[in-house]
């Protein structure tokens, strides 16, 4: 059995979470066009007859905003240095090649695979020209041209990763997909629906905390209670919306996703709470599970 760790590395918005979802065939994580969507180093576990690959998805490499931003950036660097294979994911349609990130990728001592993603979004000639530019800068890397969104060449990537993994015993049971309590997945799904339904600036100030669950005998389904935590009263008003319409939309969408994920109908009870400036409060960051080092 080939067994090892793989890190998805690259700028925010390159498509790392989308790729992880394509690999696992499940939408387990928040994917959205906004930067800083990924807050945890979510591990996805891929297992087949020959190999087990543990994927670590890093928060995008962006300019850090405040304390939370800094923690996210450190996490990404830590994850990168402790894996067997580094997957450097880039957006083929992005004209800018980030020399700083390239330097960091080249500093990695193990094998690097350049995932040239979003090839569906860029013309063939332009795409190939830019790919050559990347190859020049990353002489050691192997390359996979990819459309994570359309699941094109995901298999090819898995095969390539396998060639670089050491022999070993399974790290996780065969049927386990994510190394993370279900609650986290529920919270991420709710947060994703918040982001999709709200305006640009607000979502980064949102944290979702699952408070408790209970089984309703009458309705014969599980009820999940969650707090949506924002930083200001004005934000609370936005999340709730006129006559509670926004919140009820978020609830409907999240209920749908979680029910699909659980393969049973569940109900959601959402409460919006204000915790002032939680993103810069070390105690709160710890309490909410964003590790502070
Ligand atoms: P991350 O920040 O690197 O995790 O990026 P996400 O996975 O959240 O993706 C950012 C955006 O790019 C989302 O809107 C995705 O739907 C989109 N995206 C990801 N992969 C592809 C792809 O292969 N083709 C296209 N056209 N869009 C993609
Ligand atoms: Mg992501």
Q: What Å distances lie between residue 56 and 20, 119, 173, CA to CA?
A: 9, 23, 17
User: In the predicted model, what is the mean pLDDT of residues 181-209?
Assistant: 80
Q: How confident is the model at residue 181 (pLDDT cuts 50, 70, 90)?
A: low
Taking CA atoms only, the protein residue closest to ligand 1 atom 13 is: 33
How confident is the model at residue 121, as a pLDDT?
96
146 CA closest ligand 1 atom index: 23
- Alpha-carbon distance of 58 to 72, in angstroms, equals 8
- Alpha-carbon distance of 184 to 126, in angstroms, equals 40
Distance 14 CA to ligand 2 centre (A): 8
CATH of the domain at 226: 3.30.300.20
Contact 6/84 with Cβ under 8 angstroms?
A: yes
How confident is the model at residue 133, as a pLDDT?
97
Instruction: Among 149, 150, 151, name the best residue to mutate to test ligand 1's pocket (greatest count of ligand atoms within 8 A of Cβ).
Output: 149
Closest CA to 58 of 81, 24, 26, 25: 81
Q: How confident is the model at residue 219 (pLDDT cuts 50, 70, 90)?
A: confident
CATH of the domain at 88: 3.40.50.300
Q: Is residue 292 part of a domain?
A: no
Instruction: Among 12, 15, 152, name the best residue to mutate to test ligand 1's pocket (greatest count of ligand atoms within 8 A of Cβ).
Output: 15
Contact 141/114 with Cβ under 8 angstroms?
A: yes
User: Domain limits at 92?
Assistant: 2-162
Task: List the 221-230 sheet strands across, edge first.
Answer: 207-216, 221-230, 266-274
Q: How many CB atoms lie within 10 A of CB 283?
A: 9
Taking CA atoms only, the protein residue closest to ligand 1 atom 19 is: 15
Instruction: List the Cα angle 146/138/42 in 5-degree steps.
Output: 55
Q: Is residue 171 part of a domain?
A: no
Instruction: Note the ligand closest to the C-alpha atom of 27.
Output: 1
8 CA closest ligand 1 atom index: 3
230 and 125 in one domain?
no
Q: SS3 for 187-228, per residue?
A: HHHHHHHHHHHCCCCHHHHCEEEEEEEEEECCCCEEEEEEEE
Instruction: Report phi then psi at 228, rounded to 5.
Output: -100, 115
- Bigger pLDDT: 3 vs 17: 3
11 CA closest ligand 1 atom index: 3
Sorted by sequence, the CB contacts under 8 Å of residue 284 that are 6+ apart come out as: 275, 278
Last residue of a domain, one of 127, 162, 197: 162
Query: What mean pLDDT value characterizes the chain?
Result: 84
How confident is the model at residue 143, as a pLDDT?
98
Q: Do the strands 112-117 and 85-91 form a parallel or antiparallel pair, or are they unpaired?
A: parallel
Instruction: Report phi then psi at 32, rounded to 5.
Output: -155, 160
12 CA closest ligand 1 atom index: 2
Q: Is residue 26 part of a domain?
A: yes
Q: How many domains does the chain have?
A: 2
Tens digits of residue pLDDT in 70-127 = 655 666 666 666 789 999 999 999 999 999 889 988 988 889 999 999 999 999 999 9
Protein residues whose CB sits closer than 6 Å to any atom of ligand 1: 12-18, 31-33, 37-38, 60, 117-118, 120-121, 147-149
Q: Is residue 153 part of a domain?
A: yes
218 and 148 in one domain?
no
226 and 120 in one domain?
no
- Bigger pLDDT: 248 vs 10: 248
- Bigger pLDDT: 227 vs 278: 227
Distance 121 CA to ligand 2 centre (A): 19
Q: Is residue 167 part of a domain?
A: no
145 and 29 in one domain?
yes
How confident is the model at residue 131, as a pLDDT?
97
Distance 12 CA to ligand 1 centre (A): 9
Q: How confident is the model at residue 270 (pLDDT cuts 50, 70, 90)?
A: very high
Taking CA atoms only, the protein residue closest to ligand 1 atom 10 is: 13
- Asked whether the predicted pLDDT for residue 68 surpasses 80, the reply is no
Q: Which pTM value belongs to this model?
A: 0.67
How confident is the model at residue 27, as a pLDDT?
46
- Asked whether the predicted pLDDT for residue 25 surpasses 60, the reply is yes
- Asked whether the predicted pLDDT for residue 33 surpasses 60, the reply is no
57 CA closest ligand 1 atom index: 4
242 and 200 in one domain?
yes
């Amino acid at each position: 059995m080939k067994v090892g760790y793989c890190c998805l590395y690259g700028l925010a918005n390159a498509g790392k979470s989308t790729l992880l979802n394509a690999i696992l065939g499940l939408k387990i994580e928040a994917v959205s066009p906004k930067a800083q969507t990924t807050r945890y180093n979510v591990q996805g576990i891929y297992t087949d007859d020959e190999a087990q690959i543990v994927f670590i998805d890093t928060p995008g490499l962006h300019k850090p905003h405040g304390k939370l931003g800094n923690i996210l950036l450190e996490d990404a660097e830590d994850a990168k240095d402790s894996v067997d294979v580094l997957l450097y994911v880039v957006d083929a349609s992005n004209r800018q090649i980030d020399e700083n990130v390239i330097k960091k990728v080249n500093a990695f001592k193990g094998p690097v695979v350049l995932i040239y993603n979003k090839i569906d979004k860029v013309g063939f000639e332009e795409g190939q020209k830019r790919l050559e530019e990347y190859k020049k800068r990353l002489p050691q890397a192997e390359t996979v041209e990819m459309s994570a969104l359309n699941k094109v060449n995901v298999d090819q990537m898995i095969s390539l990763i396998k060639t670089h993994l050491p022999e070993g015993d399974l790290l996780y049971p065969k049927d386990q997909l994510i190394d993370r309590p279900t609650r986290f997945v529920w919270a991420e799904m709710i947060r994703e629906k918040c982001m999709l339904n709200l305006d640009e600036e607000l979502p980064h100030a949102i944290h979702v905390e699952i408070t408790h669950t209970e089984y309703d005998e009458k309705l014969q389904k599980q009820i999940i209670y969650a707090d949506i935590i924002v930083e200001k009263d004005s934000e609370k008003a936005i999340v709730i919306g006129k006559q509670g319409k926004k919140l009820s939309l978020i609830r409907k969408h999240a209920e749908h996703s979680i029910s699909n994920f659980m393969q049973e109908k569940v109900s959601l009870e959402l409460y919006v709470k204000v915790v002032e400036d939680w993103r810069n409060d070390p105690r709160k960051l710890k309490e909410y599970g964003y590790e502070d080092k």
